[in-house]
Amino acid sequence: MKHMPRVLIVEDEPAIAELISVNLRHNGFSPIWAEDGDAAQRELDAVLPDVILLDWMLPGQSGLVLARKWRLDPRTKPVPILMLTARGDESDKVAGLDAGADDYITKPFSTQEMMARIRSVLRRRTPERVDDSVVISGLSLDAGSYRVTWQGQAMKIGPTEFKLLHFLMKHAERVHSRGQLLDKVWGDHVFIEERTVDVHIKRLREALGAAGAMIETVRGAGYRLSAQAITTPEQV
Ligand code: CA
């Protein structure tokens, strides 16, 4: 039997949850509904879903708080999160992405849009057949073991940032525009704004600590990973 991807819907409004569930089932997904953070946590503890649809406005812990919490938990960290939000403000979208959401959908949304975005995050999470490793100036990335180390120390890095770093390291010293990065790293950017790249670059730099300096912003052009941007102890 074909795998039916499990979608955990964290939504306090039964009518919306029901509507989403019906559409998901109709499209070959297996929906699970949780009405708040506690119920969602119980579902996550039992079985990990393939994707989480997370409402921003929830009783108790907000979607933002939950996204942050699930991103910090190593078990739930790899599960993509799509934020559902009635807010359209750019600052709110960025806050959602900063909290660890992979994408957001602004209410009201169409079924087609929701399905496209779910498929898009699922595609992005599908592991690539890459077993190679790249080393640049003390920064090492091993795609096979999904590990990033800086001067021998393991770094904690999110899935999207990992893909982004992998691409930048494999094509180091070259400038990539935001559009190119969306193409190469995200693959399907029909609904993704170029601003999203900036959010993930920021997250990547933070995750890399001192090595984050290797990722340069090239004004008016995009981003570049450069060994010259950093002085490693070996070179001192
Ligand atoms: Ca709500």
In the reported structure, the alpha carbon of residue 108 is separated from the centroid of ligand 1 by a whole-number distance in angstroms of: 12
Would you state the pLDDT for residue 131? Answer: 53
pLDDT per residue as tens digits for the range 2-57: 568 899 999 999 999 999 999 999 999 999 999 999 999 999 998 889 999 999 99
In the reported structure, the alpha carbon of residue 57 is separated from the centroid of ligand 1 by a whole-number distance in angstroms of: 4
In the reported structure, the alpha carbon of residue 56 is separated from the centroid of ligand 1 by a whole-number distance in angstroms of: 6
In the reported structure, the alpha carbon of residue 47 is separated from the centroid of ligand 1 by a whole-number distance in angstroms of: 23
Work out the angle at residue 225's Cα, subtended by the Cα atoms of residues 219 and 228, and round it to the nearest 5 degrees: 95
In the reported structure, the alpha carbon of residue 209 is separated from the centroid of ligand 1 by a whole-number distance in angstroms of: 36
In the reported structure, the alpha carbon of residue 28 is separated from the centroid of ligand 1 by a whole-number distance in angstroms of: 25
In the reported structure, the alpha carbon of residue 198 is separated from the centroid of ligand 1 by a whole-number distance in angstroms of: 28
15-39 in b/e form (b: 16+ CB < 10 A) is: eebeebbebbeebebebbbbbbbeb
Domains and CATH numbers, the chain: 6-122 (3.40.50.2300), 133-229 (1.10.10.10)
**Would the CA dihedral through 173, 174, 179, 183 be positive or negative?**
negative
pLDDT per residue as tens digits for the range 103-125: 888 888 888 889 988 988 887 76
What CA dihedral angle connects 187, 189, 190 and 194, to 10 degrees?
A: -160
Neighbours of ion ligand 1 (CB under 5 A): 12, 55, 57
pTM of the model: 0.56
In the reported structure, the alpha carbon of residue 12 is separated from the centroid of ligand 1 by a whole-number distance in angstroms of: 5
81-110 mean pLDDT: 82
In the reported structure, the alpha carbon of residue 84 is separated from the centroid of ligand 1 by a whole-number distance in angstroms of: 9
What is the C-alpha to C-alpha distance for residues 46 and 24, in angstroms, rounded to an integer?
A: 21
Q: Where are the beta strands (DSSP E) in the chain?
A: 6-10, 30-34, 51-55, 81-85, 103-106, 133-136, 139-142, 147-150, 153-155, 215-218, 222-225
What is the C-alpha to C-alpha distance for residues 198 and 204, in angstroms, rounded to an integer?
A: 10
In the reported structure, the alpha carbon of residue 33 is separated from the centroid of ligand 1 by a whole-number distance in angstroms of: 13
